[in-house]
Amino acid sequence: AEHQHTRYNALRDDWVLVSAHRVKRPWQGQLEKPPPEDVPRWDPNNPLCPGATRANGEVNPQYEGTFVFPNDFPALQPDAPEPGESDHPLFRAAAAQGVCKVMCFHPWSDLTLSLMSLVEIRAVIDAWAELAVELGASYPWVQIFENKGAMMGCSNPHPHCQVWASSFLPSEARLEDRTQRQHLSQHGVPMLLEYAEQESRRKERVVVENTDWLVVVPYWATWPYQTLLLPRRHVCRLQDLLEGERDSLASIMQRLLIKYDNLFEVSFPYSMGWHGAPTGTYLKEDCGHWQLHAHYYPPLLRSATIRKFMVGYEMLAQAQRDLTPEQAAEHLRSLPEVHYKRRAK
């Protein structure tokens, strides 16, 4: 807890430098602007609101629940041409086709998942699973992710996420596929299933848990308050979750996100995303080495205005963090599960 050391990340096959003593150093660097607290519930100029007109001229329906539509500025398109053949191995290119969608969680712009009801969160989970099935029928990778807050590059406060389906396995997916496959081959049990059992027994990095799910600050965490959301049983894909598991997922997501917001009493920024077994042609293959999981990567370190920067040593050498995962987990675990905006005055 007091001395620097490195920790191995079995899921990514790399290492992180833990320098817990550095969190005590004075800070004279960049201070971030806290997120606005006065977001209007409905704004006709917000392209994600019900009834608003988007950049391509389409008008959103007066939706009352979740709403999915094609991204107006997609990073992937289904009909992109293939690049020409390379004349040298150092200048290779490959085809990249896909589909990008946006999913609004709720019609109100002034809500986030942490402030939504369990029924509303469950509707989001069901919509995620439906998209995973729909797009996964054709594409090998369906990446569901949410960038929350301007600090994470989100340009719109309306509660929403993105879903990108690609004709290729992205780098992180390839890496996790390899490490999980190797672990199952060497140890006879899926890596993250064994990891969840170990963390549940040790308790020191557990943030919240219930019958079906476990949230931990992983042993190898890079970001200050990074967490990993894991099912307790062996589940390969989001769409494989049982009804009860979807209900308990809504509950544990709400509990985690309330703790995040309560940490610095601010709408907590993060990037999160689901990882599960590949789809498309992989649906016919044995993907038992995979275990469904979600990553949460929040940047805040000391307060609502002081973030962790991944620069210098992190970019040129390896990841480094300024407090131990155990300290971060203890801090999150001790926070109340009633949102600070809803506490009695």
pLDDT digits (tens, 9 = 90+) for 204-231: 999 999 999 999 999 999 999 999 999 9
- DSSP 8-state secondary structure symbol assigned to residue 59: B
pLDDT digits (tens, 9 = 90+) for 122-172: 999 999 999 999 999 999 999 999 999 988 888 899 999 999 999 999 999
CA–CA dist 62, 43 (Å, integer)? 13
Model pTM score = 0.95
Q: Which domains does the chain have, with CATH numbers?
A: 38-80+94-342 (3.30.428.10)
108 contacts 48 by C-beta, under 8 angstroms: no
Lowest-confidence range among 24-33, 107-116, 151-160, 206-215?
A: 24-33
Does 313 count as an annotated binding residue?
yes
Question: Is the pLDDT confidence value at 196 over 90?
Answer: yes
Does 314 count as an annotated binding residue?
yes
Question: Is the pLDDT confidence value at 28 over 60?
Answer: no
What secondary structure does DSSP assign to 215-237, as a single string? EE--TT--STT-EEEEESS---S
For this structure, is 160 an active site residue?
A: yes
Q: Which of 106, 158, 160, 289 is catalytic?
A: 160
What are the backbone angles phi and psi of residue 145, rounded to the nearest 5°?
-150, 150
Does 88 count as an annotated binding residue?
no
pLDDT for residue 151: 85
Question: Is the pLDDT confidence value at 298 over 60?
Answer: yes
pLDDT for residue 305: 82
Does 176 count as an annotated binding residue?
yes
Length of the chain: 345
Does 46 count as an annotated binding residue?
no
Does 71 count as an annotated binding residue?
yes
Q: Whose CA is closest to 285, among 183, 181, 196, 170?
A: 181
Q: Whose CA is closest to 278, among 199, 172, 186?
A: 172
Helix axes 243-264, 118-136, angle to 10 degrees: 120
Share of the chain above pLDDT 90, in %: 86
